[in-house]
Every structure is written in C-alpha cells, then in structure tokens.
Structure 1
Amino acid sequence: MEQKKLPNVTIGLVLGIISFFCCCLSSGIGGILMSGIAFFLLKKDERTYSENPEEYTNFSQLKTAKVIAIVGLILGVLTLIWTIYSIQKMGGIDAYMQQVQEAMEQFGIEE
C-alpha cells in the first residue's frame, strides 16, 4: 500500500515558525494564537497517525512541528506576561499610552 503524508504537518510547521515572529510583534497574543492553532492541527494529525501508523510517512516532521509550536506557545505566554507586567509597572494603560504618544512625537510621527 502506498504511504501518504499527514495532511496538517506542513501547515502546523509553518504556523509554529510564524508564532515566533508574532509573539514578539504582537505582545505575545499573536504567538499564542498561531501556536495554539498549530498545536490543535498537529494533535488532530497525531490521532490520525495513531489509528493507522503504517499508512503515513512524516511522523518525525509532526514531532518537530509540535516542539516548535510548544516553544512558540511558551514564548508567547512569557511575552504576554512581560507586557502585562510592564504596563502595570508604568502605572496602568493610560500611563503606557502616554509614553507611547510621547515616543511617537519624538520620532515625528503624528496621528
């Protein structure tokens, strides 16, 4: 019988890699979302593989993608916690927005 590839492994791998960038660019929320979606898709493929393991060839890629998604999730959570801590330390969201506004004015960026 011809062996197939698991359907969501490549998508899970790409989403896991994107979660690294998103966790830094979106205060952790994007990383959590992307890696969460990747983890969900990979768990689905893991169940598919466990039902009929001799039918699929790319289980090692699934394990790699799962590790990347977990690392992206951890980085996203840590970044989100750091962001919340930083905003709280600055005196709340209003003080944070005031500092952002001042920084934008310094660089000549206006709304």
Structure 2
Amino acid sequence: MEQQKLPNVTISLVLGIISFACCCLSSGLGGIIMSGIAFFLLRKDEQKYQSNPEIYTNYSQLKTAKIIAIIGLVLGVITLIWTIIQINQMGGIDGYMEKVNEMLEQYGIEQ
C-alpha cells in the first residue's frame, strides 16, 4: 500500500506556531484558542494513525506539532492568568479602564 501523510499535521504545526504570537497579542486567549484547534486536529490524525500506522509517514511531525501546541497552550494560560492578576491589581475592569484612559490622555490620543 502507498505511503501517505497525515492530513492535518502541517496546519496543526502552523497553528501551534501562530499560538505563540497570539498569546502575546491577545492576553492569552488567542494562544489558547489556536492551541485548542491544533489539539483537535492532531487528535483526529492520531486516531487515523493508530488505526493503520503502516501507511502514514509523518508521525514524528505530529509529535512535534503536539509539543509546540502544548507550549503555546501553556504560554497562553500563563499570559491569561497574568492579565487577570494585573486587572485585579488595578481595581477591576473599572480601574483598568481608568488607567487606559489616563494613558491615552497622557499621549494625546483622542477616543
């Protein structure tokens, strides 16, 4: 039988890498979402591989994508927890919004 590649491994790898940037740019939520999607796709491919391992060639790439998705998920969770702690230290959402407005006024940015 002809060797095949698992279909979702490459996109899962890309999503895992994108989750690194998203966890920094979206207070952790983007990283968590991207890693979650990557895990969902990887689980489907892992089930395909387990059912017939002889015909698939890129299982090592699947393991790499899983590790990258785990790192992205951990970074996203840490960033989200840090953001929640920072908002609480500023006095909740209202205090946070006051700080944002002060910074906007300080730099002369109109709302």
TM-score for the superposition, normalised by structure 1? 0.97
1:74 aligns with 2:71: no
Please report how far the alpha carbon of residue 107 of structure 1 lies from its aligned counterpart in structure 2 after TM superposition: 2.1
Please report how far the alpha carbon of residue 104 of structure 1 lies from its aligned counterpart in structure 2 after TM superposition: 1.7
Task: State the partner residue of 1:4.
Answer: 4
Which moved further from structure 2: 11-20 or 96-105?
A: 96-105
Task: State the partner residue of 2:49.
Answer: 49
Q: Which amino acid aligns with 2:106?
A: Q
User: Distance in 2 between the 1:59 and 1:107 partners?
Assistant: 52
Task: State the partner residue of 1:14.
Answer: 14
Structure 2 counterpart SS, 1:108 = coil
Alignment of 1:84-103 (within 5 A): 84-103=84-103
Task: State the partner residue of 2:110.
Answer: 110
Gap runs ≥5 in structure 1: none
User: Distance in 2 between the 1:2 and 1:99 partners?
Assistant: 61
Deviations 1:25-81 (A, max 9, x none): 000001000000001100110010000001100000000000000110011011000
Q: Which amino acid aligns with 1:16?
A: G
Runs of 4+ in 1 over 3 A off after TM superposition: none
Structure 2 counterpart SS, 1:16 = helix
Please report how far the alpha carbon of residue 109 of structure 1 lies from its aligned counterpart in structure 2 after TM superposition: 1.8
Gap runs ≥5 in structure 2: none
User: Distance in 2 between the 1:62 and 1:109 partners?
Assistant: 46
1:62 aligns with 2:37: no
